Amino acid sequence: MKFDDEQMIVSGINVTPLVDITLVLLIIFMVTATFVSERAMEVNLPKSASKENAPTPALTVTLGKDGTLKLMRKNVSLEELRVALAKEVRIYPDEKVLMKAEKDLPYYKVAEVLEAIKLAGVRKVALAMERK
């Protein structure tokens, strides 16, 4: 049997390797994005003896020692925090919030942020602690 040059021409492109590479890159991006958001601001957390895990996934609110307030790595004021969380709660009623606060902050500063979170309608709030 003899083949012509026309019969040997490849008329399609194999996209399987492209899809494989794209999926691997997507997975790498998703994994590294979670690590980057966790290190938005370094705070010294209080120590805890319990082994309870933080709710996941959750929005992260960070209160720094200088009073800097961040929502998922973005600087916000107390009012902006309340408005942003209220929008999230309207979309996702069971939204969880993980609050990280510097351990040496006065109690009233932490209470102000917790009150803003409560006024936004968030029902599930966890306070981040370091394990002893």
Domain containing 109 — which CATH number? Answer: 3.30.420.270
pLDDT tens digit sequence for 27-49 = 988 887 766 655 555 666 666 65
Give domain status of residue 1, yes or no: no
In this prediction, what percent of the chain has a pLDDT beyond 70?
A: 73
pLDDT tens digit sequence for 92-110 = 888 899 999 888 888 899 9
Give domain status of residue 25, yes or no: yes
Q: What is the 3-state secondary structure (H, E, C) of 13-73?
A: CCCHHHHHHHHHHHHHHHHHHHHHHHCCCCCCCCEECCCCCCCCCCEEEEECCCCCEEECC
Give domain status of residue 98, yes or no: yes
Residue with tokens 């069971």: 94
Mean pLDDT, rounded, of the chain: 81
Residue 47: which domain range? 43-131
Q: Are residues 75 and 19 in the same domain?
A: no
Q: Are residues 73 and 97 in the same domain?
A: yes
Least-confidence region, from 6-10, 18-22, 88-92, 108-112: 6-10
Q: Are residues 109 and 53 in the same domain?
A: yes
The pLDDT value recorded for residue 55 is 45
Count of domains observed in the chain = 2
